[in-house]
Structure 1
Amino acid sequence: MTTANRYRIVIRCPLCGEKYILRGKQNENGEYETGFKQCVCGNEDRLIIEATPE
């Protein structure tokens, strides 16, 4: 993985306010792959995801 295709991903949970900062890459479907599954409060679906290239 080169730095050209890496992204800084910020995931925020609107239910509990938790914030996660991860690194990942974008797949062919336009989704970001970080390995993140769910928030500590159990929220899997309603997440705010922001991505910026590194």
Structure 2
Amino acid sequence: MRVKVTIRCNLCGEKFILRGKREKGRIETGFKQCLCDNREHFAVEEQAE
């Protein structure tokens, strides 16, 4: 199932809007880290497409 994902960095506030795939209860977008090198502290919001 395809979903639209909004990822906001909790450190710098940068916002990313991506498409992802829901598999086994997880969302896979390929997103690794923010521009500020943050790899862990994000607010993730999903919307069905």
Q: TM-score range by the shorter chain?
A: over 0.9
Report the structure, 1 or 2, having the larger strand content: 2
Question: Identical aligned pairs, as a percentage?
Answer: 53
In the alignment, which of 4, 9, 19 is matched to residue 23 of structure 1? 19
Partner of residue 42, structure 1: 37
Q: Which runs of 5+ in 1 are unaligned?
A: none
CA RMSD of aligned residues (A): 0.7
The reply to whether residue 11 of structure 1 matches residue 2 of structure 2 is: no
Structure ID, larger Rg: 1
Report the structure, 1 or 2, having the larger helix content: 1
SS of the equivalent of 2:38 reads coil
Q: Write out the 4+ residue segments of structure 1 that deviate beyond 3 Å after TM superposition.
A: none
Give me the TM-score of the superposition, normalised by structure 2. 0.93
Corresponding pairs, count: 49
